[in-house]
Amino acid sequence: MADSPDLSRNLLFVLSRVHDHTTQYEWMTFAEVINSLAHVQFVGSAVPGHSVADIESVLERFYGNGLITKMADKPIRATAVQLTDEGLHEFYRTRAPADATVDSSRWTGISSGPRLDSERLSALVALLKGVERDLDRANLGNTERAQALAYFSAIRALAEAPEPPVDLIWQLVERASQIAGVAALFVSIIALFK
């Protein structure tokens, strides 16, 4: 898949992070850009299916157009990049009207974070109930079972909160899925976040 307006816009979004509450944009390696873009895909605002070559091509175009600068005179994959002021202007120029929200986290320090809609939250709670039943049948030791149940309880409690912290839920899902023998139980839960 080639470059798309959504990929360009989401890459500009990823690069627009400000370092330590200053007006300086973060230097990001190619791997950090890829990982951050994967997070944007997780919260549902990116178009999945772009290859690493597509992303590299867009970043090279950004560099050629003065939207980013490179830390060293090396290929994009081998150096860190930083958004320029012109790049930020381009990001705001290309933002969709639906995305036109004020991000107060830059001056308050409190992240608004991603949100799951009520339908997905209901599905998450239902899936967690099923996973807890499946966990009883899984061939796990007492320690692994107790640890997994603790994660499930925390995830479920957070998912049922009035304003569920999706970032924290996702972190707990990732950690719980790393317990030996539990990863297979999380496939349908992880799919909710894609």
pTM of the predicted model over 0.75: no
pLDDT digits (tens, 9 = 90+) for 92-150: 777 644 444 455 555 555 555 445 677 777 787 788 777 777 777 777 788 888 888 88
Would you say residue 165 has pLDDT above 50? yes
The CATH number of 5-101 is 1.10.10.10
Core vs surface per residue 136-151: b (16+ CB within 10 A) or e: eeeebeeebbebbeeb
CB-based contact 132:149 (threshold 8 Å): yes
Asked if pLDDT for residue 178 goes beyond 60, the answer is yes
Cα separation, 132 vs 123, in Å, equals: 14
Residue spans per domain, the chain: 5-101, 118-192
Mean pLDDT of 11-28: 73
The predicted structure's pLDDT at residue 180? 59
pLDDT of residue 95: 67
Q: Which residue has the higher pLDDT, 154 or 104?
A: 154
Q: Is the pLDDT of residue 45 over 50?
A: no
- pLDDT, one tens digit per residue, over 52-95 is 888 899 999 999 999 999 999 999 989 999 988 888 888 877 76
